Structure formats: C-alpha cells, structure tokens
Chains A and B, each alone.
Chain A
C-alpha cells in the first residue's frame, strides 16, 4: 500500500492564488519527484529533487527536498486554469532503482 502521506487531498482555489501541497513519510527517501496527471493521461514529471535541502523551480512551480529526507513540498504561484489536475509526489528509497512509491495525490480545482 501507499507509504507517502500527501496533503491536502483536494484544493479549491481562485485563479491567481498560490498553492502549496506536501508529502511526508516515516522513511527516508533519496529522491523526491512531483508529477501532474490530467484526465485520461499518464503522470507528467514536473520536478525531480535529489539532495536534502534542495530547492528547484520549473516556471511557476517550486519544490523542496526536506532536510530530514522524509518530506517534500510543492508550491505553485499565481495559478492559472491549466494548472487544474491531480498532483502526485513520488519517492525513491534506493538511488538508481526504478521503483517509485507514490502519494495519494492532491486534486487541484481552480475557479476562474
């Protein structure tokens, strides 16, 4: 079963607002990833994090690898309608291994 606790499960915001979501675990992970999934599609990789404390941006998205290596957060600034979707965190315990553990996802809904 799932081993990553992702919150919140859903968010309803106004266009232009900033968004924050996070993922926590009781275990240490060597890699944290953030994906976005649109209806009828597979997850799309947004950001990859490899070092504790690392802060990485991809346009309006910013993610951080927690210093304890047990958590990560994703921020979206100035949300726009195309940000709607489900965001998943994923972690990898062993460097180089391909097995990913996923969070349950955060469903983002934006009111124009």
Chain B
C-alpha cells in the first residue's frame, strides 16, 4: 500500500496569512490525526477526524481547524498565521478496530509539511 502523503512538503508564508495543508491517508484508513512538531514543544496533537467528524481535539487555538472528506482525505487550515506557527505539521492515518490492540491499527505518519512563517 502507498503510505500517507502530504502536500505541499514545504511552505513559506507571512504573518497574518492563512494556509491549508492536505493529507491523503493510507488506502482503507478512515482516521486522520494531525500533529505539530517544533523543537521547543515537540510533537503535539492537534485533532483527529474519523468519518468526516472531528473526534478529538488538542489544546490549540481556534485558528487551527480541519476537515475530512468522504474519501478520508483531510485538510488542516491555520488562519492569521503567527511566527510561532512555524513547524513541521504531521498527518497520521489509522484504521482503528473495536478495542484494537494491534500494531496494524496504530497511526502511520506522513513525511510532514514544513511551514515557515516570516
């Protein structure tokens, strides 16, 4: 199976702009989670979508939003960009089972989108 793909891989924006990042999950995976990775804060959970519904959300301001389409592809949007939003944004897909305890039900990550805010 092809892995998780994210586009674009690199992005440069200026403060105040907005940005949309895209994630295509592994075929058959219905859950998509987004994480922000920075040197200072490490990997932090943003939100998770399953069957086009947000199921879980991390502690990020409302400027960070997302959505999922019927084909499980997901997008995240950041509005009114700040310098501190510069980060690697990672998408992970999974196909969680009922009471799943299997390696194959875990999250598999894409290569990320490197966002730089100037």
Contact = CB atoms under 8 A, between A and B. Distances in A.
Interface size class of B (residues with CB under 8 A): 20 to 34
B66 to A, nearest CB: 13
Contacts of A103: 42
B87 interface: no
Interface string A28-68: 00010101000011111101101100000000000000000
A1 B90 contact: no
A99 B45 contact: yes
B94 A98 contact: yes
Interface residues of A, number: 28
Interface in B44-95: 44-45, 48, 50, 55-56, 58, 90, 92, 94
Interface in B3-50: 4, 31, 33, 35, 41-45, 48, 50
B95 to A, nearest CB: 11
* Secondary structure class of chain A's binding surface, majority of residues: loop
B56 A42 contact: no
Contacts of A40: 111
Given A98-B96, A105-B42, A41 B107 contact: no
B107 A102 contact: no
Given A96-B96, A97-B56, A98-B55, A45 B108 contact: yes
Contact of A96 (B4, B45, B92, B99): B99
Closest 10 CB pairs of A and B: A42-B109, A102-B43, A50-B101, A98-B48, A48-B103, A99-B45, A43-B109, A99-B56, A104-B42, A98-B33
Given A2-B41, A98-B56, A105-B42, 5 more contacts: A33-B106, A88-B43, A96-B96, A99-B45, A101-B45
